[in-house]
Amino acid sequence: MPVSRAFLVLGTLVAALLAWPATGSAALSCGLPEAQPTWIDFADGSVSFWRERFARPGVVVATGGTQLAAEARTAGAGTVHWDMYLRKRVGTPSEPADPALMEKRADALFDYAVSVSGCQTPLIALNEMWGASLPTPLTPTAERYRANVLRFVTRLKERGGRPALLISSEPFTAGDAAAWWRAVGAVSDLVLENYANANLIWRDGAIDGSRRLRVRHRQSVAKLFAVGIPPSRIGIMVGFQTGAGAGGREGLRPRSRWFSVAKWHTLAVKQVAKELDLAHVWSWGWAQRNERSNDPDKTYAACVWLWARDASLCDAPAMLGEELDANLKTGQLGLPAGVRCLYGATALTASGVAALARVTRDRELALTALVTRAVERERARVSPFEALALEQRVVAARFRGSSVAYRAAVTEAGASLAVARGILGDELRSAEIVDRLSPARISSGDVARFRATFAPVLAREVTVSPVPSWLPDGQGVALATSAPAAIFAIRGGRRITIRTAEGAFVVEAHGEATALGALPADLARAAVTRELRAERRAEAYAAWTIRMQKAAASKLVCERDRLPELGVVSLSAFAPFLSLHEAEAARWFTARGGS
């Protein structure tokens, strides 16, 4: 067929098939379960264990053999037809078959599928489409190949069959390709083969590995959703092959590890299929045709696969004993109602996220802050009494003892008292963690640059008792970048008591306040070094918290795997009157007119 004619046929089919009524979630085939998803397991004569595992009620067997199919149905299983060699019907992208043969070949396959499945409207698995990931524009031969595939599945549909086209690579759906995928999806189900390397999943563990599988399946399906393929037309195939380089077991040992990965994969695809209301889930790789594929552990993996989706199908825990971790909850998304994420045993509730988001104005930012809080609680303990004591000091120092004014500020920030106390606890924890971190080395050049940059900043020699965090030696030059603003207003030679969030301090001022740049270099050096050390610790904390958040992912299970973004979140930035940093709080009060 000339290329121009191939394009014409394809265009005509696209226009016609886009008008084809959707099938919805009707039964897939005669006698198959109507509830979605339908679970379908491949078997042929080489699968030595198919009778023990798949020939039973509740299982649907995909096979190309009439005798095997009949025996499976006698044992109570459902059956669908599996056509192993689609390429013999339609050719390949480099060598497409004669288009004139498509209807004849489709008719022959349909008639055989009826005899195998015992059904006049059979589900027919077509193994498998080649070149799904080819970008457009396609070569002329690839165009003819795709026209063949579309004509072939269309004819199966016209005869009353339900073709299910297996897709062996990530489909390219952008640009002009989208129309072809929509046309195929109008007459055929699309089954995405997604074969994960069991070694990689085992290395990640139950939480990260399960999440990797779920995310992988969702991302694959999302491409088809994006071009308009409905979930009732989409399936996922999971691979249990054992040959190297094709996904599946990939030599993972001991076999107990493979069984764990099989369990995780079953639960992962079960979750995604339920979330997205997919039509079917398939298993493949059970064949034992040669030394490469004849793995004696497959029969046990099949039992795990069946058990993890429905415990009545195979008693894997009894069969495998200590070789199988029978826990079906670790790493899974069966979160309690109202819980957005679980960090170990700590529940991060949707209501908690919403309450904090009224402060941050961003739910994801609020979630990041809550995860950071959970991580830091493992490394620095702050009791509720310590947070309440800090709150009392804040009220005394910044609101002149007025709890009414304090509550008004809390409300203005969008917080409740509980949220505000949580932020105060965060301030105490992060301060404790920061104090443990080792700052980077400070050079004389760093000191000179800071002094030049902050030359206008107020500085003053003072003696303070007890020793505060902003002047850890108890005497010396205090800088307005960290010290309370009140000390720069004291008359020279006077001694007064000031109240801060850190506590009450007696301050004696020596001389008058002056600009940092006006101080002699030797007098300013210690103050500048102190400020730089605080900066370096803050930078070290930023790097530390990102590392901790990354590590926390292995303990974090979130709704639909929507993990929080990584970030350094200081909640006191949204309510500076709660900050332990006096200068930050002072700027907030100044911006409000000093009220």
The alpha-helical segments, DSSP class H, found in 399-520 are 403-412, 417-436, 444-453
Closest-CA residue to 259 (of 301, 298, 200, 295): 301
On average, the pLDDT of the chain sits at 92
Tens-digit pLDDT profile for residues 389-445? 999 999 999 999 999 999 999 999 999 999 999 999 999 999 999 999 988 899 999
pTM: 0.83
Do 282 and 237 contact (CB within 8 A), yes or no? Answer: yes
Give the chain's domains with CATH numbers.
Answer: 3-15+32-318 (3.20.20)
Strand, coil or helix: what is 497? strand
The H or E element spanning position 583 is helix 582-591
Task: At 447, give phi and psi (nearest 5°).
Answer: -60, -45
What's the number of CA atoms in the CB half-sphere (13 Å) around residue 258? 24
Strand, coil or helix: what is 236? strand
Tens-digit pLDDT profile for residues 565-595? 999 999 999 999 999 998 888 888 887 766 5
What's the number of CA atoms in the CB half-sphere (13 Å) around residue 540? 17
Predicted confidence at residue 31, as pLDDT, reads 72
- Percent of the chain whose predicted confidence (pLDDT) is above 90: 89
Say how far apart CA 467 and CA 5 lie, in whole Å.
88
Give the torsion sign (CA, 243, 245, 247, 251). Answer: positive
